Amino acid sequence: MHRTRIKICGITRPEDARCAVAGGADAIGLVFYGPSPRCVSAAQAREICAVLPPFVVPVGLFVDADADAVNTVLAEVPLGLLQFHGSEAPAYCEGFDRPYMKALRMRPDIDVEAEARRYHSAAGLLLDSYKAGVPGGTGETFDWQRVPLSLRQRIVLAGGLNPDNVGAAVAELRPYAVDVSGGVEHAPGCKDPEKIARFVAAVGEADRR
| Residue among 9, 19, 49, 93 flagged as catalytic | 9
The yes-or-no answer on residue 128 being catalytic is yes
The yes-or-no answer on residue 109 being catalytic is no
Strand 185-187 relative to strand 190-191: parallel, antiparallel, unpaired?
antiparallel
φ/ψ of residue 109, rounded to 5: -100, 10
User: Which residues lie closer than 8 Å to 189 by C-beta, 6 or more apart?
Assistant: 10, 12, 13, 37, 38
| Residue among 16, 19, 93, 128 flagged as catalytic | 128
φ/ψ of residue 42, rounded to 5: -60, -40
CA–CA gap between residue 42 and residue 45 (Å, rounded): 5
Residues 117, 104: contact at Cβ < 8 Å? no
203 φψ region: left (φ > 0), alpha (ψ -120 to 50), beta (else): alpha
Catalytic residue numbers, as ranges: 9, 128
